[in-house]
Chains A and B, each alone.
Chain A
Amino acid sequence: MLNYILRRLLVMIPTLAAISFLIFFIIELPEGDYISNQISMLRSTGESASIGRLEFLRKEFALDRPFVERYGIWVGLWPGPNGFDGLIQGNWGWSFEYDQPVGEVVGPTLPLTVALNLATVLFIYCVAFPIGIYSATHQYSVGDYTFTLIGYLGLATPNFLLALVLMYLANSWFGLTVGGIMEEHYIGEPMSGGKVLSIVAHLIVPVIVIGTSGTAAMIRRLRANLLDEIYKQYVTTARSKGMRESKLLVKYPLRVALNPFIADIGNLIPSLVSGSVIVSVVLNLPTVGPVLLGALQSQDQFLAGFILLFVSILTLIGMLVSDVLLGYLDPRIRLGKEGARQ
């Protein structure tokens, strides 16, 4: 098992390298950089007093070097003006817009981002698991049809529109403010029981909004998998031996059907993270989503780059966890028969 995890971790390294390069390429796509834009803005207004300082800053952040060198400095594989000082060394860069280190800008938002995505994954499992089993064992019942219909709607409704509509409904029907992460009087206060409760209460709507389409997909998947298994010979055999129906289900077909269920969550995670970014913007949650939007709009490149890398790593870790779980469940994968997985 340990071997498998190690192998899986090793595979992640080249992936991470490729992703970081891609992200750096993307954030460098806009013409110029934050400081050179400021300089040209100052030039056009005729103010030239602070240009010297900005020129110095450009040198300080190595923005005047060629592209590959800048990438190396950002990651920490190439000596910058201050020696090796990049992501690997724990320096996440500088946010020009906030005039603060990136770590301080995004620091408070990271735990909530992780919590939100984790809560969504848990929500999907907790909801999709029982409903999927119910739908498969009660095929074509009223309940099955209802869940199928809801599932279709859930798949088709884009999450940020759902957030918008829910926010409106909650506001006009119950007078609730759904946006934000806690009630206003808790902002700035130290952690307390009431504050935690308030945060949890405010997380419910975003979790449902982000998780709906994923849940719908998972229900469909589990139902189909279980239906494939439930009518097989070994189930009939077990039943004819007088095994109790509930025990039988858990013991045999569910275990087989569980495999793709776990594997799929890995495929779902990128779209969950995508969803959490835009839903956070709509619902005004202090996750990395709104910060990323702001950073992209003001071309705050290191901030945007770090957030993009962070959400990508989040999905990579999610996929890793799902792979490890899968390896734990399925010896064929753990022992490295690649073909057995397909």
Chain B
Amino acid sequence: MSPGERGEDKAEHYVNPKGFDPKDVEILTREQERYYQAPQWKIIWWKFRKHKLAVLSAIILFFFYLCVPFAEIIAPYPVAKRNVDFLFAPPQAIHLFHEGKLVGPFVYGLNPSVDLENLKWVYETDTTKVQKIRFFCKGEPYKFWGLFPASFHVICPAKDGTLFIAGTDRLGRDQYSGLVYGARLSLTIGLVGVSISMVLGVLLGGLAGFFGGWIDSSIQRVIEIMRSLPELPLWMALSAALPITWSPVWIYFGLTVILGLLDWPGLARAVRSKLLSLREEEYAKAAALMGASPSRIIVKHLLPGFTSHLVASATLSVPAMILGETALSFLNLGLRRPAVSWGVLLNEAQNISVVTIYPWLMAPVIPIIIVVLAFNFMGDGLRDAADPYK
């Protein structure tokens, strides 16, 4: 306020010749209007879209997750199919040109023989055998989702030919098909596990943050103890406790519960601190004054305020679960055949002397690293976008 308006030392009366348009200050550009009217999720999406690496990661993950429903169609071989003539066959390189002529994608045939001196399988690529890869074709019969008999594949080997993109293992099972089928368990175990830990985290963190007092301090103690424990040895002990007689499906659910049971403290802590700050907000007080029950206030009024944060931190804890399953199955404590996951496949690579001779047994390492990196980048992007009004 200038001294002139207080009338102590009056200046000359001034009138702006332009006139006053009350709407003038409030005219928004189209851009601004669009932004202010957009719902929260839309703004999150706009912000997420700017994070190029995160978007790329999301696309990569989408393609990986396609393997979950369509594994049978994407894989050239059924997962348990044993190619008895091709044990420990090396990966077949895909070529385009044969003797200078374009043939389209094809592989050269393999001639197996046994090296009796070193006791290993030796494969010669036979450059006279050109085996054209077929696409969208009828191949090995399988049961889609274990229910419907079918034989349609996206990619098949040539008739009477082979197509081992990532080699085969000791029983002649195609590794690439194994990877595609393995994605089904490896990729979903993280999601299911994270949902379990999210339910626990929201529930316990919510109780601690909303009620405070002794509930808060006892839950805090539990969180502190859980966080000071080395996770993997406990995972090992818990999964060793799963009865061997259980079917793979039960083992799978057992594992997700185990992974989720030890993972919730981080989420609970985040929920608690968010709730502590949000419950002081006016709207939470208003709801309480109007007689809303605590659970209604938490779920209806407070939770939406940090759902995006929750999703972001859940995304960041998916890789830990995928790795946990891989480690457990690798150590023979998790899933076992006939269930196939990336950890189960890696189990074949446990013996280093086998790996040195047949290095393609380590193939599952590649998708695991890609998926973990992608989840990390996508989680980073989501976390940055989670609070769009900042």
Please tell me if B327 contacts chain A, counting CB pairs below 8 Å.
yes
Give the CA-CA distance A273 to B327 in the complex, in Å: 15
Give the CA-CA distance A53 to B369 in the complex, in Å: 52
User: Contact at B237–A160, with CB atoms within 8 Å?
Assistant: no
Interface-facing stretch out of A197-205, A236-244, A305-313: A305-313
The interface residues of chain B lying within 8 Å CB-to-CB of A277 are 230, 232-233, 236
User: Contact at A281–B229, with CB atoms within 8 Å?
Assistant: no
User: Contact at B231–A274, with CB atoms within 8 Å?
Assistant: yes
Other-chain contact of B327, A158, A171, A296 (Cβ < 8 Å): A158
User: Contact at B356–A168, with CB atoms within 8 Å?
Assistant: yes
The interface residues of chain B lying within 8 Å CB-to-CB of A314 are 230
| A272 and chain B: residue at smallest CB distance | B230
User: Contact at B243–A31, with CB atoms within 8 Å?
Assistant: yes
Interface of A is mostly: helix
User: Contact at A161–B231, with CB atoms within 8 Å?
Assistant: no
Residues 205-252 (chain B) with a chain A CB within 8 angstroms: 221, 224-225, 227-234, 236-238, 240-241, 243
Interface-facing stretch out of B41-49, B167-175, B183-191, B328-336: B328-336
Please tell me if B365 contacts chain A, counting CB pairs below 8 Å.
yes
Residues 181-212 (chain A) with a chain B CB within 8 angstroms: none
Give the CA-CA distance A163 to B242 in the complex, in Å: 27
Q: Least Cβ distance of B167 to chain A in Å? A: 14
Q: Least Cβ distance of A127 to chain B in Å? A: 21
Give the CA-CA distance A277 to B241 in the complex, in Å: 18
Please tell me if B150 contacts chain A, counting CB pairs below 8 Å.
no
User: Contact at B225–A307, with CB atoms within 8 Å?
Assistant: no
The interface residues of chain B lying within 8 Å CB-to-CB of A29 are 238, 241
Give the CA-CA distance A66 to B142 in the complex, in Å: 51
The interface residues of chain B lying within 8 Å CB-to-CB of A172 are 356, 359
Give the CA-CA distance A315 to B232 in the complex, in Å: 13
Interface-facing stretch out of A68-76, A89-97, A136-144, A149-157: A149-157
User: Contact at B372–A168, with CB atoms within 8 Å?
Assistant: no
The answer to whether A156 and B376 touch (CB under 8 A), given A161-B365, A296-B236, A296-B237, is yes
Map CB proximity to A onto B367-389 as digits: 1 under 8 Å, 0 otherwise: 01100110010000000000000
The answer to whether A293 and B241 touch (CB under 8 A), given A156-B372, A315-B228, is no
Give the CA-CA distance A277 to B224 in the complex, in Å: 22
Please tell me if A304 contacts chain B, counting CB pairs below 8 Å.
yes
The interface residues of chain B lying within 8 Å CB-to-CB of A316 are 228
The answer to whether A168 and B233 touch (CB under 8 A), given A19-B225, A161-B368, is no
The interface residues of chain A lying within 8 Å CB-to-CB of B346 are 161, 164
Q: Least Cβ distance of B210 to chain A in Å? A: 19
Please tell me if B162 contacts chain A, counting CB pairs below 8 Å.
no
Interface of B is mostly: helix
The answer to whether A15 and B237 touch (CB under 8 A), given A161-B369, A168-B362, A311-B230, is no
The interface residues of chain B lying within 8 Å CB-to-CB of A307 are 233
Interface residue tally for chain A (C-beta within 8 Å): 48
Please tell me if B326 contacts chain A, counting CB pairs below 8 Å.
yes
Please tell me if B355 contacts chain A, counting CB pairs below 8 Å.
yes
Give the CA-CA distance A267 to B224 in the complex, in Å: 11
Give the CA-CA distance A22 to B261 in the complex, in Å: 13
Q: Least Cβ distance of B331 to chain A in Å? A: 6
| A293 and chain B: residue at smallest CB distance | B331
Give the CA-CA distance A277 to B236 in the complex, in Å: 10
Please tell me if B349 contacts chain A, counting CB pairs below 8 Å.
yes
The answer to whether A296 and B240 touch (CB under 8 A), given A164-B349, A167-B352, A278-B327, is yes
Please tell me if B303 contacts chain A, counting CB pairs below 8 Å.
no
User: Contact at B233–A274, with CB atoms within 8 Å?
Assistant: yes
The interface residues of chain A lying within 8 Å CB-to-CB of B232 are 274-275, 277-278
Give the CA-CA distance A252 to B233 in the complex, in Å: 41
User: Contact at A19–B233, with CB atoms within 8 Å?
Assistant: no
The interface residues of chain B lying within 8 Å CB-to-CB of A270 are 227-231
User: Contact at B229–A19, with CB atoms within 8 Å?
Assistant: yes
Please tell me if A128 contacts chain B, counting CB pairs below 8 Å.
no
User: Contact at B326–A168, with CB atoms within 8 Å?
Assistant: no
User: Contact at B229–A155, with CB atoms within 8 Å?
Assistant: no
| A284 and chain B: residue at smallest CB distance | B352
User: Contact at A273–B238, with CB atoms within 8 Å?
Assistant: no
User: Contact at A152–B228, with CB atoms within 8 Å?
Assistant: no
Please tell me if B68 contacts chain A, counting CB pairs below 8 Å.
no
The answer to whether A18 and B362 touch (CB under 8 A), given A281-B331, A315-B230, is no
The answer to whether A292 and B233 touch (CB under 8 A), given A30-B240, A161-B365, A172-B356, is yes
Please tell me if A27 contacts chain B, counting CB pairs below 8 Å.
yes
Give the CA-CA distance A293 to B284 in the complex, in Å: 50
Other-chain contact of A293, B229, B236, B319 (Cβ < 8 Å): B236
Residues 254-303 (chain A) with a chain B CB within 8 angstroms: 267, 270-271, 273-275, 277-278, 281, 292-293, 296-297, 299
Q: Least Cβ distance of A30 to chain B in Å? A: 5
User: Contact at B362–A312, with CB atoms within 8 Å?
Assistant: no
User: Contact at A271–B352, with CB atoms within 8 Å?
Assistant: no
Please tell me if B323 contacts chain A, counting CB pairs below 8 Å.
yes
Q: Least Cβ distance of B119 to chain A in Å? A: 18
Other-chain contact of B228, A164, A292, A296, A312 (Cβ < 8 Å): A312
Give the CA-CA distance A274 to B233 in the complex, in Å: 6
The interface residues of chain B lying within 8 Å CB-to-CB of A293 are 236, 331, 333
User: Contact at A164–B355, with CB atoms within 8 Å?
Assistant: yes
The interface residues of chain B lying within 8 Å CB-to-CB of A274 are 230-233
3 nearest interchain CB pairs?
A274-B232, A29-B241, A296-B240
Instruction: Given contacts A299-B240, A308-B237, list 14 more A-B pairs with CB under 8 A.
Output: A15-B228, A29-B241, A31-B243, A153-B373, A160-B330, A168-B359, A168-B362, A274-B232, A293-B236, A293-B331, A297-B333, A304-B240, A308-B234, A316-B228
Q: List 9 A-B contacts (CB under 8 A).
A: A26-B234, A155-B376, A161-B346, A164-B352, A167-B352, A168-B362, A171-B352, A270-B229, A296-B333
Chain A residues at the B interface, C-beta cutoff of 8 Å = 15, 18-19, 22-23, 26-27, 29-31, 152-153, 155-158, 160-161, 164-165, 167-168, 171-172, 179, 267, 270-271, 273-275, 277-278, 281, 292-293, 296-297, 299, 304, 307-308, 311-312, 314-316, 319
